[in-house]
A = this chain, B = another copy of it.
Amino acid sequence: MKQLWLFKEISNDLSVVDKRLEQYVHADIPLLSQASTHLLAAGGKRLRPAFVLLVGRLYKSEIDRVMPLAMALELIHMATLVHDDVVDASMTRRGRPTVKANWGNRISVHAGDHLFAKSLLLISEMNDPEISRILADVSIQMCQGEIQQIRSTFDVSQTPKDYYYRIKRKTALLISASCKLSAIVCGAPRRQVWALGAYGHALGMAFQIVDDILDLTANQSELGKPVGGDLRQGIITIPMIYGLRNSSQHNRLAELLADNNKTEAEVLEAVELISNSGAIQESLELGQKYVAKAKKYLSVIPKTSARTALEQLADFITVRKY
């Protein structure tokens, strides 16, 4: 698992999350266990559990208190990954074959549903209707974001506002919920619950912006998936929107981005036009603005080493390479 080095403080706890998840997704049906375990083993940053655990540290909470939430949020995230793979026809994720590539569409849909239902059971056992309500609301909005992303593929008339709408639902809401719900579970004062939710939201936006930059600039071995994936799938990200606005070869870039059957050479041409327009730098600055905003929200949180970790995590977002 490619863990962020910043999670060193909680790396033992994250291993516990992993172990518990592995036990928990076990099903009587071997195929279902295999599909779920495969996805778990492929790893990922465990970003959502990490936020839950770090916020738990803020309030000196026992790990068992926040563990079900940490597990539930990772399960929701995993379920969306499995369903995204179905619909996007992607055959690798994190450098490994996707569940779909191994088991086909039919199993993937139900394996995703199974992970989601397992997370519901964990959440229902937390006996707090507010938590259920917030996560149901987030789930609804995540679906709406996915549909909007499909609808808007190859649409080069999109504005930054359209992009914010999508990445809020794709990434920011669930990371915000990770921070906010952990604070609720720990019995944090309402003002701090709100601030941590706002921190997670801003950080989630920054995280997705950097993800979308890396999709254009990182190399495949760092990223664990083919570079230029968004370009190929027609997902119009903020560097592309800025590129369209700034590039001296606007029309050519628009033509390339709108083409749903690009050659590899055309993908590289589009990447170069975007890079030369200054759009990467501008997108990075947008990400940094969100990071600064995120850190500001932490001002109401007591100054402890856990708060420092949350601040460092924010800073790390824009310098990461994977």
A6 located at the interface, meaning its Cβ lies under 8 Å from any Cβ of chain B in the complex: no
A218 located at the interface, meaning its Cβ lies under 8 Å from any Cβ of chain B in the complex: no
- Closest Cβ neighbor of A105 among chain B residues: B87
A161 located at the interface, meaning its Cβ lies under 8 Å from any Cβ of chain B in the complex: no
Q: Report which residue of A29, A83, A88, A120 has the largest number of chain B beta carbons within 10 angstroms of its beta carbon.
A: A120
In the complex, what distance in Å separates the CA atom of A147 from the CA atom of B146?
24
A144 located at the interface, meaning its Cβ lies under 8 Å from any Cβ of chain B in the complex: yes
In the complex, what distance in Å separates the CA atom of A128 from the CA atom of B106?
33
- Closest Cβ neighbor of A117 among chain B residues: B139
A129 located at the interface, meaning its Cβ lies under 8 Å from any Cβ of chain B in the complex: yes
Q: Would you call A139 and B113 a contact (CB within 8 A)? A: yes
Q: Which of A46-54, A130-138, A179-187, A314-322 makes up part of the contact surface?
A: A130-138
Q: Would you call A121 and B133 a contact (CB within 8 A)? A: yes
Residues on B with C-beta less than 8 A from A117 are 136, 139-140, 142-143
Q: Report which residue of A29, A133, A136, A139 has the largest number of chain B beta carbons within 10 angstroms of its beta carbon.
A: A136
Q: Would you call A83 and B110 a contact (CB within 8 A)? A: yes
A-side interface residues, number (CB < 8 Å): 44
Residues on B with C-beta less than 8 A from A132 are 120, 123-124, 129, 132
A250 located at the interface, meaning its Cβ lies under 8 Å from any Cβ of chain B in the complex: no
Q: Would you call B32 and A143 a contact (CB within 8 A)? A: yes
Residues on B with C-beta less than 8 A from A127 are 129
Q: Would you call B28 and A144 a contact (CB within 8 A)? A: yes
Residues on B with C-beta less than 8 A from A111 are 143, 147
Interface string of A97-113 (1 = CB under 8 A from B): 00000000111011111
Residues on B with C-beta less than 8 A from A118 are 140
A86 located at the interface, meaning its Cβ lies under 8 Å from any Cβ of chain B in the complex: yes
Quick one: which of A28-45 are within 8 Å of B by CB?
28-29, 31-32
Q: Would you call B105 and A143 a contact (CB within 8 A)? A: no
Q: Would you call A147 and B86 a contact (CB within 8 A)? A: no
Residues on B with C-beta less than 8 A from A143 are 32, 110-111, 113-114, 117
Q: List 14 A-B contacts (CB under 8 A).
A: A29-B151, A31-B147, A32-B144, A83-B109, A86-B105, A87-B106, A87-B107, A88-B106, A113-B143, A120-B135, A124-B135, A127-B129, A128-B129, A129-B132
